Amino acid sequence: MSIKLKLQSKQMQSLVLTPQMRQAIHILQLNNLELNEFLAEQVNENPFLEIQDAQGFDTALDASNSDNNDTGNAADSTDSVAGDFLDNSFKSGNLPETHITDSFYENLWDSDARQDLQNRHVDQGEASSYGDDNINPGLVIEQSVSSVLSFADFVQQQIFDKMLESPLKEDCLTLLGWLDDEAYLLEKAEELETRLEISLDRVQAAQNELRSLMPVGVAASSLADRLSMQLHHEGLWHPDFEVILDNLDLLGRGEVNLLAKKCKIRPRILLDRVETIRQLNPKITSSFKFQATQDRQPDILVFENDVADEEYGNWRIELNDNTLPKILVLDRYWEELAAKKMPSKDREYLNACYNSGNWLVKSMNQRAITLLRVAREIVKQQPEFLKKGLDYLKPMTLRDIAVELDLHESTVSRVTANKLMETPRGIFELKYFFSVGISAKEGDQSHSARAVKERIKNLVAGETKNQKDGRPKIFSDEALALALQEDGINIARRTVAKYREAIGIPSSADRKRAARLLS
């Protein structure tokens, strides 16, 4: 076969992101509080923009209408070109993100140790906790973005940045939705192959990609797996750690001599190994936790109506006008300035400001429309949860909402990022309603993984009330699985064990030991 050089022309279509498009995408993922800050910056830069509260905004519109002024036209344009362009762009799936901005083993990572570790990484003037002169970049990045993005948003950003054109991007985004609250991926690749109906090779490739992202420990299958990932990443791995991580229950009970015997090392060396483990970060999502919901007003309000609606039942869904900022383009001011003589550079600047202001208003309208559509669809999909509580939370993914609303999955992800919904059941992040499903024993109905975890919590919490010979009857993992199966949940003992560990519940042996100490 000969090798030749040749010139070839090729015709192809591609989407170029303008600054206005980037701004519109950015606005989609801001909550109302962040939106107020963003608009304040825009008003400082643009002389034709003004922020008004709801009452002032309505008054301004009334005044403009009485003067035959079209000030509010941009704000009324719900079917704007911007809206159509945004929807079409999101459906393409090629848009990058542009806005970067207490378990059983608690004794292993006490507050002093974690605070010390955090201080070492946040203060860039000190050496890292691993004994070298370099700052751990993963934890520094994690700390710097935790106040801006949620954990899911942070990981998603990396997926977009790293795999912009990769066919694995969609698979990674799908698996991201299967991570639990602590970023564990508890399902085996074979289970995901069946449930997602994609090849095993694709599942494993997407798993490997997720596990390569920061912070180290994303998509780990267990606590031991996560700690192993971090030890390897920091170059601290030693064969002793394999035995230690396989026997974390002994470590949690403080049985150092027995564990040292299993490792075939002296207790003093074991304690050194344990100290290394204590410097790791088992709770990689903790620094991404947003402030308590009561400190922030919700973006969406859900009320119960006396009169049922054909589509949404007894529920009324509204945007929270008390926190939703209003932006106004000062058309009259623009008209006055446009009529004056001025240098061409000044006129170009004013034209750019005016056009930018109108685009911003259109983007704000599109954000409000899309957020309201997504919120209404979530309520439409979760009526039983709103009526009866967490046990009735329906399994739901971003893709489910995207298909129903004819939006791209990434659009739904952006819209639901860091937004709060107030319901009669409490205030929840929109992301809370998305959870993978566990099949039922009979029929097509499935159960939310989040609801199943809550049932496990309730069963364990009720052990103290379930007395046997004057002592609490402790459920083994097998007994928990049987109890859940009696409720119609098709779940294996191994899955129960993984869920129990993920939510920080000790093993049945340790709970029995604790019960004896308290009796």
Please report, for residues 52, 221, 319, 369, the alpha-carbon distance to residue 362 in angstroms, rounded to integers and kept in the order given.
16, 44, 17, 11
Query: Is residue 492 in some structural domain?
Result: yes
Query: Is residue 473 in some structural domain?
Result: yes
Tell whether 89 and 138 lie within a shared domain. Answer: no
CA 294 to chain centre: 19
Number of domains in the chain: 3
The alpha carbon torsion through 103, 222, 138, 126 (nearest 10 deg) reads: 50
Tell whether 68 and 173 lie within a shared domain. Answer: no
Domain end residue (candidates: 337, 362, 387): 362
Tell whether 127 and 146 lie within a shared domain. Answer: yes
Task: Tell whether the torsion through CA atoms of 157, 429, 410 and 357 is positive or negative.
Answer: negative
pLDDT for residue 228 is more than 80: yes
Question: Residue 439 — pLDDT band, cuts 50, 70, 90?
Answer: low
Choice among 145-159, 182-196, 340-354, 357-371 with the minimum mean pLDDT: 145-159
Tell whether 37 and 60 lie within a shared domain. Answer: yes
Question: In the numeric block, which tokens belong to residue 295?
Answer: 């400190």
User: Which comes out higher in pLDDT, residue 225 or 391?
Assistant: 225
pLDDT number for residue 302: 93
- Looking up tokens 């109108």 gives 358
Nearest to 390 by CA among 444, 446, 452: 452
The H-assigned helical ranges of 339-476 are 344-381, 383-388, 398-405, 409-416, 449-461
Query: Is residue 370 in some structural domain?
Result: no
pLDDT number for residue 52: 76
Structural domain span for residue 338? 19-97+323-362
CA geometry: angle 109, 111, 112, nearest 5 deg:
100
8 Å CB contact between 364 and 38: no
Tell whether 67 and 183 lie within a shared domain. Answer: no
Question: Residue 200 — pLDDT band, cuts 50, 70, 90?
Answer: very high
pLDDT digits (tens, 9 = 90+) for 6-29: 777 777 665 556 777 778 888 888
Q: What percent of the chain has pLDDT over 70?
A: 73
Q: What is the DSSP string of 168-213?
A: HHHHHHHHHTT--TTSB--S-HHHHHHHHTS-HHHHHHHHHHHHTS
- Average the pLDDT over 98-103 and give the result: 32
- Average the pLDDT over 492-502 and give the result: 83
Domain end residue (candidates: 243, 272, 288): 288
pLDDT for residue 116 is more than 60: no
**DSSP letter at 67?**
T
- Average the pLDDT over 135-155 and give the result: 54
pLDDT number for residue 513: 75
The whole-angstrom separation of Cα 211 and Cα 205 is 10
pLDDT for residue 107 is more than 50: no
Query: Is residue 305 in some structural domain?
Result: no
Question: In the numeric block, which tokens belong to residue 436?
Answer: 């993978």
Query: Is residue 383 in some structural domain?
Result: no
8 Å CB contact between 109 and 278: yes
pLDDT number for residue 164: 64
Question: In the numeric block, which tokens belong to residue 280?
Answer: 């790791």
Query: Is residue 407 in some structural domain?
Result: no
8 Å CB contact between 180 and 218: no
pLDDT number for residue 518: 59
Tell whether 246 and 140 lie within a shared domain. Answer: yes
| CATH code where residue 489 lies | 1.10.10.60
Please report, for residues 31, 421, 429, the alpha-carbon distance to residue 293 in angstroms, rounded to integers and kept in the order given.
13, 10, 8
Total residues belonging to the chain: 519
pLDDT for residue 103 is more than 50: no
Tell whether 66 and 122 lie within a shared domain. Answer: no
pLDDT number for residue 517: 61
Tell whether 354 and 273 lie within a shared domain. Answer: no
- Which phi and psi (to 5°) does residue 82 adopt? -60, -40
**DSSP letter at 368?**
H
Question: Residue 484 — pLDDT band, cuts 50, 70, 90?
Answer: confident
Choice among 147-156, 169-178, 337-346 with the minimum mean pLDDT: 147-156
Tell whether 125 and 88 lie within a shared domain. Answer: no
- Average the pLDDT over 257-272 and give the result: 89
pLDDT number for residue 9: 76
Tell whether 207 and 353 lie within a shared domain. Answer: no
Tell whether 183 and 270 lie within a shared domain. Answer: yes
User: Which comes out higher in pLDDT, residue 290 or 411?
Assistant: 411
Choice among 104-113, 320-329, 340-349, 409-418 with the minimum mean pLDDT: 104-113
Domain end residue (candidates: 261, 288, 315): 288
Query: Is residue 115 in some structural domain?
Result: yes
**DSSP letter at 385?**
H
Question: In the numeric block, which tokens belong to residue 30?
Answer: 């801001």
pLDDT number for residue 76: 35
Tell whether 339 and 238 lie within a shared domain. Answer: no
Choice among 353-362, 389-398, 399-408 with the minimum mean pLDDT: 389-398
pLDDT for residue 225 is more than 90: yes
The SS3 of residue 258 is helix
The whole-angstrom separation of Cα 497 and Cα 475 is 12
Query: Is residue 166 in some structural domain?
Result: yes
The pTM assigned to this predicted structure is: 0.54
What H or E segment, with its residue span, contains residue 301? Answer: strand 300-309
Q: What is the mean pLDDT of the chain?
A: 75
Question: Residue 90 — pLDDT band, cuts 50, 70, 90?
Answer: very low
